[in-house]
A and B are shown apart, each in its own frame.
Chain A
Amino acid sequence: MSSAMFNLILQATLDTLYMVAISGVISTLIGLPLGVMLYATRPRQILAMPVLNQVLGIITNIGRSIPFIILMVAIIPFTRMLVGTSIGINAASVPLTIAAIPFVARLIEGALNEISPGLIESAQSMGATPWQIICKVLIPEARGGIITGLTITLVTLVSYSAMAGAVGGGGLGDLGIRYGYNRFNPTIMLITVIILVVMVQGFQSLGDYLVRKSDRK
């Protein structure tokens, strides 16, 4: 393999990691509070607001139901407004983030569902405010499930980012399509796939390790 090819692959790998990192971090920052709200505003929950809960649920479901490939092209004007262009890794990070937010929110909500209602009740009996319950009970107790959810999100983002490559997003998907598929270079295609597999394995192993470390049960 030529060094030019090597640099190309290295750059594509870094681009993928960049997109996954940016969209992973931003979608967690927005999806985590959204997931907590989806849980806490349910009827009879600590911040019961049934109407808001319905609205948030509908918005989240809409976000979850649009296929990524369609979302990507549908929000091009928004992406252009935000980063000034619709191609490249920064542009690809926008739809990745938008797609991941409701995904993260539902996974966080699911992790919170696993908490025994008795824990919330006992915190209430100690005079905890809803905010204290969220920070000191819900999030710490659900941390194993939250890490699991974020791991799933990262893995999903890796595969979505490859899809973003198809529309000029950059990264390994882009490399695989342009060099592997369009220029009939099976070696590049294979290397691309292997790197993606290793990346996903890495994220999963890291996630599993963190879950094990946080588990006190």
Chain B
Amino acid sequence: MIELSNVSKTYGSGKNAVFALKEVNLTIPKGTIHGVIGLSGAGKSTLIRCVNLLERPTSGSVTVDGQEMTLLKRSELNQARHRIGMIFQHFNLLTTRTVFDNVALPLELMGQKRGAIKERVLPLLEMVGLADKAQQYPAQLSGGQKQRVAIARALASKPNVLLCDEATSALDPQTTGSILELLRSINQQLGITILLITHEMEVVKSICHRVSLISDGKLVEDAEVGDFFTAPITQLGREFLNDFLQLSPPKELIERLSDAPGEHTHPVVRLTFSGDAVSTPLISRLARECSVDVSILQAKVESIQDRTLGLMIAELLGTPAQTQEAMAYLEAHQLQVEVLGHVQRNV
């Protein structure tokens, strides 16, 4: 359980003050995976570092497992950090230690005995699939293997919370998938609460339960992943989604689009289907019931966890009254209709 309330972080003071976080409120229930997504410089890094106080918030409160972190003394904070694992974009393994000794480090820091350390490290290496690499050095490992070592190391002190700082951003898509799979199984088997920050929608889509969108130091959206991917509320959320779906009208069409309808123009619309609408033959019904023709420019169906999401960019061909009616018809059937512009028909 992680709770941030009214967390703000300012660097510098007076005229030079830079606001990295503004009044952030976030609650992450025990055992869930929460993603924070945002562009670089939005404050993601600062946010995740405020949880284990690598960055101390300027104001606000940070509670992890019921413990108010900002009030802890130095030694108490170190104790609390043993229960919060963290992994990083660049792995941060010690190059001069073997895989085994890297995983042993947090246990050494806690003052555990050699025997106890061995008993803890070997099963962890087993779990991340690197038992055979125990005596190798990080330089001999691939990026994905390094991150696995880092995960084993972060779990060594039996934390309740795992913080992932762009943990897959330095990895190729395939390796990203296997690391996410590992994080998911850790979440399920050990019940560890995971907070991850990322700029990749793919990461959010594959393992997060909930997602927050951060922009300019503020959380501007906080939603179930299924909702975020079907109906983002903010413009930024829509941009992230469109980038992810890679669905935007062809360039030559964009150039021909005008904002206002003219005498011989047709609307170009982006339709988003979710829920039952995906499996209903709406387009053919639309053609019959509103007597418009639909010219499909682009279409895509994505499955986001247990939801299905359909997207389509289409031109509606008919008189203004007919196309108006068609859009109303679609909206009445729980589709989101967004008019991208109007295009002159080449006849």
- Give residues in A with beta carbon < 8 Å to B: 116, 118-119, 121-129, 132, 136-137, 140-141, 143, 214, 216-217
Question: Quick one: which of A116, A132, A136, A143 contacts B90, CB cutoff 8 A?
Answer: A116
CB of B81 within 8 A of CB of A126, answer yes
Kindly state whether residue B78 has any CB partner on chain A within 8 Å.
yes
| A126-B92 contact, Cβ under 8 Å, with A121-B54, A140-B97, A216-B139 | no
Q: Which residues of B contact A122 (CB under 8 A)?
A: 86, 88, 92
20 A-B interface contacts by CB (under 8 A): A116-B90, A118-B92, A119-B94, A122-B92, A123-B109, A124-B81, A125-B54, A125-B84, A125-B85, A125-B163, A126-B109, A126-B153, A127-B77, A127-B78, A127-B157, A132-B109, A140-B96, A141-B94, A214-B96, A216-B138
- Give residues in B with beta carbon < 8 Å to A: 52, 54, 77-82, 84-86, 88, 90, 92, 94-97, 105-106, 108-110, 137-139, 153, 157, 163
A118–B157 Cα gap in the complex (Å)? 20
Q: Closest 5 A-B residue pairs measured CB to CB?
A: A127-B81, A127-B78, A122-B92, A125-B86, A216-B137
Distance between B337 CB and nearest chain A CB, rounded to angstroms: 47
Number of A-B contacts (CB under 8 A): 65
Distance between A121 CB and nearest chain B CB, rounded to angstroms: 6
Distance between B158 CB and nearest chain A CB, rounded to angstroms: 13
| A128-B137 contact, Cβ under 8 Å, with A119-B94, A136-B109 | no
A125–B109 Cα gap in the complex (Å)? 11
Distance between A15 CB and nearest chain B CB, rounded to angstroms: 37
Most buried by B among A122, A124, A140, A216: A122
A122–B153 Cα gap in the complex (Å)? 10
Q: Which residues of B contact A143 (CB under 8 A)?
A: 96
Question: Quick one: which of B77, B81, B85, B90 contacts A118, CB cutoff 8 A?
Answer: B90
CB of B95 within 8 A of CB of A136, answer no
CB of A127 within 8 A of CB of B108, answer no
A118–B84 Cα gap in the complex (Å)? 17
A137–B92 Cα gap in the complex (Å)? 11
| A119-B92 contact, Cβ under 8 Å, with A126-B82, A129-B78, A216-B137 | yes
Question: Is the contact region of chain B dominated by helix, strand, or loop, or is it mixed?
Answer: mixed
Q: Which residues of B contact A124 (CB under 8 A)?
A: 54, 81
Chain B: which residue is nearest A124 at the CB level? Answer: B54
CB of B95 within 8 A of CB of A217, answer yes
Q: Which residues of B contact A119 (CB under 8 A)?
A: 92, 94
Most buried by B among A123, A127, A137, A216: A127
A140–B97 Cα gap in the complex (Å)? 9
| A125-B105 contact, Cβ under 8 Å, with A116-B90, A141-B95 | no
Q: Which residues of B contact A128 (CB under 8 A)?
A: 78, 109
Distance between B81 CB and nearest chain A CB, rounded to angstroms: 4
CB of A126 within 8 A of CB of B106, answer yes
Question: Quick one: which of B82, B90, B137, B163 contacts A127, CB cutoff 8 A?
Answer: B82
A116–B78 Cα gap in the complex (Å)? 21
Chain A: which residue is nearest B106 at the CB level? Answer: A126
| A137-B54 contact, Cβ under 8 Å, with A126-B106, A129-B78 | no
CB of B92 within 8 A of CB of A127, answer no
Chain B: which residue is nearest A122 at the CB level? Answer: B92
| A125-B81 contact, Cβ under 8 Å, with A132-B109, A140-B96, A217-B95 | yes
A13–B79 Cα gap in the complex (Å)? 55
Question: Quick one: which of A125, A129, A137, A217 contacts B52, CB cutoff 8 A?
Answer: A125
A164–B153 Cα gap in the complex (Å)? 52
Distance between B323 CB and nearest chain A CB, rounded to angstroms: 56
Q: Which residues of A contact B110 (CB under 8 A)?
A: 127
CB of A126 within 8 A of CB of B94, answer no
A123–B153 Cα gap in the complex (Å)? 11
Chain A: which residue is nearest B51 at the CB level? Answer: A125
Q: Which residues of A contact B157 (CB under 8 A)?
A: 126-127
Q: Which residues of B contact A140 (CB under 8 A)?
A: 94, 96-97
Q: Which residues of A contact B78 (CB under 8 A)?
A: 127-129
Chain B: which residue is nearest A137 at the CB level? Answer: B94
Distance between B25 CB and nearest chain A CB, rounded to angstroms: 23
Q: Which residues of A contact B106 (CB under 8 A)?
A: 126-127
